[in-house]
């Protein structure tokens, strides 16, 4: 699989370059943390979708003990692997986390926005 960066075919109408996760602006980052810290949704994301093993999450447990946001630490770790915001968006879609997807909708290409509308908000987690 040759991966020449994240350049998908660009048409002029697609203003948004696929941003790296470490470039996420703080308002969106904070919104994600608020949503995914709830009910440890971040742990489901980390283990079942990002492929982390339990023992990889040591630094996140330390962050929790220090009162920091586990999601913030998780995003930093995964971002350090040079993942993009669109990759995160797709994982959130697989988890039906439409609220989190909505929080970063402006950071992904318009063509992905219908994924948010494709299901009702996930009320079961409230």
Partner 1 sequence: MYSRNTEIRHIAAADAYQLAQILEHANSWKKLMAIIPKTFSSPPVRDAPKKYNADEIRLIENASLKQGRTGAEILFDEWGTSGRKRPTVGNLLDLLVEAELLRAADYVAMNFLNEPPPERPANGPAAKIDISLPFETEEIKDVDE
Helices (H), ranges, the chain = 26-37, 41-44, 58-65, 70-79, 85-94, 98-103, 114-117
9 binds partner 1 (CB under 8 A): no
42 binds partner 1 (CB under 8 A): no
120 binds partner 1 (CB under 8 A): no
- Distance in angstroms (rounded) separating the CA atoms of residues 55 and 62: 12
Distances (CA, A) of 7 to 14, 68, 104, 106: 12, 34, 20, 18
Stretch that binds partner 1, among 26-34, 35-43, 61-69, 92-100 (CB under 8 A): 92-100
Nearer Cβ to partner 1 (69/84):
84
Candidates 17, 94, 110, 125: give the one binding partner 1 (CB under 8 A). Answer: 94
Candidates 54, 59, 61, 121: give the one binding partner 1 (CB under 8 A). Answer: 59
């Amino acid at each position: 699989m040759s991966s020449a960066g994240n350049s998908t075919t660009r048409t002029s109408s697609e203003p948004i370059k696929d941003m790296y996760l470490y470039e996420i602006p703080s308002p969106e980052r904070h919104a994600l943390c608020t949503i995914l810290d709830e009910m440890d949704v971040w742990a489901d994301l980390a283990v079942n979708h990002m492929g982390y093993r339990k023992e990889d999450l040591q630094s996140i447990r330390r962050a929790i003990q220090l009162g920091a946001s586990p999601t913030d630490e998780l995003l930093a770790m995964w971002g350090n692997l040079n993942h993009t915001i669109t990759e995160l968006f797709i994982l959130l879609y697989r988890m039906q986390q439409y609220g989190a997807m909505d929080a970063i909708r402006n950071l992904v290409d318009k063509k992905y926005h219908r994924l948010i509308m494709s299901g009702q908000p996930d009320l079961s987690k409230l």
